Amino acid sequence: MRDLTKMMHPKSIAIIGASPKQSSVGNELLKRATEAHFNGQIFAVNPKYNEIEGVPCYPNIVNIPTPIDVAIIATPAATVLGVVKDCNSVNVKNVIIVSSGFKEIGEQGKILQDEIVNFANANNINVLGPNCLGVINNADDVNFNGCFAPIQATKGKIGFATQSGALASGIINLLPTLKIGLAQMVSLGNQAQINILDIMEMWEQDKNVEQMLIYIESIPDNARFREIATRISKKKPILIIKAGRSERGAKASISHTGSLAGDDTTAAGLFASSGVIREIYLRDLFNTAQVFSKCPLPKGDNLAIVTNAGGPGILATDTANDYSIPLANLSDETKDKLRAVLPAQASVANPVDVIASATAEQYEAATEILLKAKEVDILLVIYLYIAGRNDIEISRHLEKLKAKYPNKPIVSVYMTTPDFDDLVKTEVPDLDIPTFNFMVDAIHGISRLIERKNYLAQGNKITPILPVNQKRANEIFENAKAQGIKQLTTMQSLQVFDAYGLPLPKFGIAQTLKEAKDIADQIGYPVVLKLSSKTVTHKSDIGGVITNIKSEEELGFWWNRLVDRLNKANLVESLDGIVVMQQVSGANRELVAGIIKKGDTHQLMFGLGGIFVEALKEIAFRPCPLTLQDAENLIDATKAKNIMGFVRGGMATDLRIVAETLLRLSQLVTDFPEITEIDANPLMIDDKGRLICVDARIVTE
| Model pLDDT for residues 344-384, shown as the tens digit of each residue | 999 999 999 999 999 999 999 999 999 999 999 999 999 99
The HSE-up count of residue 455 (CA atoms within 13 Å, CB side) is 24
Is the distance from CB of 351 to CB of 305 less than 8 angstroms? yes
Nearest to 468 by CA among 631, 683, 601, 661: 661
Q: Torsions phi, psi of 602, nearest 5?
A: -85, 130
pLDDT at residue 5 is higher than 70: yes
pLDDT at residue 261 is higher than 50: no
Q: List the domains of the chain with CATH numbers.
A: 5-291 (3.40.50.261), 296-457 (3.40.50.261), 506-583 (3.30.1490.20), 589-700 (3.30.470.20)
pLDDT at 141: 96
| Model pLDDT for residues 104-129, shown as the tens digit of each residue | 999 999 999 999 999 999 999 999 99
Average of per-residue pLDDT across 37-53: 97
Q: What is the 3-state secondary structure (H, E, C) of 214-252?
A: EEECCCCCHHHHHHHHHHHCCCCCEEEEECCCCHHHHHH
pLDDT at 314: 96
Please report, as a single letter, which amino acid is at residue 369.
I
pLDDT above 90 as % of the chain:
78
As a whole number of angstroms, the distance between CA 228 and CA 438 comes to: 35
| pLDDT interval class at 462 (50, 70, 90) | confident
Nearest to 626 by CA among 670, 681, 582: 670
pLDDT at 564: 86
| pLDDT interval class at 617 (50, 70, 90) | confident
| pLDDT interval class at 538 (50, 70, 90) | low
Average of per-residue pLDDT across 580-598: 88
| pLDDT interval class at 260 (50, 70, 90) | very low
pLDDT at 460: 79
| pLDDT interval class at 647 (50, 70, 90) | low
pLDDT at 258: 31
| Model pLDDT for residues 379-430, shown as the tens digit of each residue | 999 999 997 889 999 999 999 999 999 999 999 999 999 999 999 999 999 9
Q: Residue 159 region, left (φ>0) first, then alpha (ψ -120 to 50), else beta?
A: beta
Q: Range with the lowest mean pLDDT among 197-201, 306-310, 413-417, 458-462?
A: 458-462
CA dihedral 395, 399, 404, 407 (to 10 degrees): 100
Top-confidence residue, 447 or 651: 447
Q: Residue 463 region, left (φ>0) first, then alpha (ψ -120 to 50), else beta?
A: beta
Distance from CA of residue 394 to its chain's centroid? 37
| pLDDT interval class at 79 (50, 70, 90) | very high
559 Cβ contact list (under 8 Å, min separation 6): 513, 516, 529, 578
Q: Which helix (H) or strand (E) holds 186?
A: strand 182-187
Average of per-residue pLDDT across 82-97: 98
As a whole number of angstroms, the distance between CA 655 and CA 658 comes to: 5
As a whole number of angstroms, the distance between CA 167 and CA 187 comes to: 9
pLDDT at residue 587 is higher than 80: no
pTM: 0.89
Q: Torsions phi, psi of 210, nearest 5?
A: -100, -20
pLDDT at 520: 94
pLDDT at residue 248 is higher than 90: no
pLDDT at 536: 61
SS3 for 119?
helix
Q: Range with the lowest mean pLDDT among 230-244, 247-261, 461-475?
A: 247-261
| pLDDT interval class at 614 (50, 70, 90) | low
| Model pLDDT for residues 137-154, shown as the tens digit of each residue | 999 999 999 999 999 999
pLDDT at 537: 56
DSSP letter for each residue of 261-307? PPPHHHHHHHHHHTT-EE-SSHHHHHHHHHHHHH-PPPSS--EEEEE
SS3 for 330?
coil
As a whole number of angstroms, the distance between CA 595 and CA 190 comes to: 31
pLDDT at 255: 35
| Model pLDDT for residues 522-536, shown as the tens digit of each residue | 999 999 999 887 766
pLDDT at 305: 98
pLDDT at residue 433 is higher than 50: yes
pLDDT at 247: 62
As a whole number of angstroms, the distance between CA 35 and CA 32 comes to: 5
pLDDT at residue 541 is higher than 70: no
Crossing angle between the packed helical segments 282-294 and 165-178, to the nearest 10 degrees: 50
| Model pLDDT for residues 503-520, shown as the tens digit of each residue | 999 999 999 999 999 999
Q: How far is CA 447 from CA 306, 402, 441, in A?
A: 18, 19, 10
Is the distance from CB of 327 to CB of 320 less than 8 angstroms? yes
pLDDT at 55: 96
| pLDDT interval class at 542 (50, 70, 90) | low
How does the average pLDDT of the chain come out, rounded? Answer: 91
pLDDT at residue 577 is higher than 90: no
